[in-house]
Amino acid sequence: MLELIDLQQVMVLDIETVSQQASYGELPGLFQELWAHKVRKTLQEGETAADVYPTAGLHAEFGKIVCLSVGVFHQRQGRMGFRLKSFAQTDERELLADFAQLLQKQPPTLTLCGHNGKCFDFPYICKRMLINGLPIPLQLDITGKKPWEVNLIDTMELWRFGDFRNNVSLNLMAAVLGIPTPKDDISGEDVHRVYYEEHNLDRIRVYCEKDVITTAQILRRLRNEPLIDPADVSFAE
C-alpha cells in the first residue's frame, strides 16, 4: 500500500526536453528523413515535418534533456520537508553523468517517482543515457526485474485506479486536489522557445522544479497526508 512506503526513501523527479536542433533545417539529412517518416501520418492538412519539429523533444530519438530536477523528503524538526536539486545545462551527457553520480550514492532500492514517469521521464532518461554512452543507473534498470521489484511510482498511474482510458495532466490533478498550479509562468509547449530563442535555461529550471514540488505534493495527497509547507521546501546548490 502507498501509505507503507517510506517517503524518505523516495526521490521525485521531472525532466524538461527540447529537440536536438533549433530547427528542422539544422538536422543532418538522414535525421530529416527519419523525422519526416515518423510524423507523416499525424500531419494536419498543409503541415510539413518542419512545422511540427518543435515537438521532436517529446521523442528520445530526436530530443535531448536540458533540465532534470529531483527532490527528496526529509524530517525537519518533526515536520516533513522537501529538498530539491537541479541539473540544467546544454551539455546533456554531463547533465546525465552528474545525475547518475547522485544515484550511485543512493541505495539501489531507492524509489523514483514522477508524473507520467513510467511512460515518459523514466524511459526517456534511460534511452538518452545509452545514446550518450552512459550505463543505466540501477534504480532505473528494470530489465529482468519482477513487477514487485520495480521501485518506480507514477502519480498519473496511481490516479487512474485501474482506469487506463484517459491521461490526467499534472496541472489538472493539482487543481482537483487543491494544490497550487505549477504552470504559473510557462508550460511544456514553451520550453523549446525559451531554450532556443530566449536562451533562458534558468527559467526552464524553475519551471521544472515547480513540477517536482507539485508531484511531491500530489503524492502526499494520495496518501491522505497534509501538504508540505512552502517554508519547508529548500534548494541544494
57 falls within a domain: yes
12 falls within a domain: yes
Q: What b/e string do you get for 179-218 counting C-beta neighbours within 10 Å, with b at 16 or more? A: beebbeebebebbbebbeeeeebebbbbbbbbbbbbbbbb
Q: What is the pLDDT of residues 89-135, one digit of tens each?
A: 999 999 999 999 999 999 999 999 999 999 999 999 999 999 999 99
CA triple 156-188-194, angle to 5 deg:
155
DSSP letter, residue 119: I
Q: Alpha carbon of 230 to those of 1, 15, 82, 90, 139: distances in Å?
A: 27, 22, 9, 30, 28
* Other CB atoms within 10 Å distance of the CB of residue 48: 11
pLDDT at 163: 86
Q: Could you tell me which residues are beta bridge partners of residue 81?
A: 74
Q: What is the pLDDT of residues 170-185, one digit of tens each?
A: 999 999 999 987 677 7
pLDDT of 203 over the 80 cut: yes
1 falls within a domain: no
35 falls within a domain: yes
2 falls within a domain: no
Region 25-53 average pLDDT: 96
Q: Tell me, what CATH number does 110's domain have?
A: 3.30.420.10
208 falls within a domain: yes
Region 60-64 average pLDDT: 98
66 falls within a domain: yes
- Tell me the C-alpha distance between 84 and 39, whole Å: 36
pLDDT at 198: 96
Domain that holds residue 175: 7-235
**pLDDT bucket at 229, cuts 50 / 70 / 90:** very high
- Number of folded domains in the chain? 1
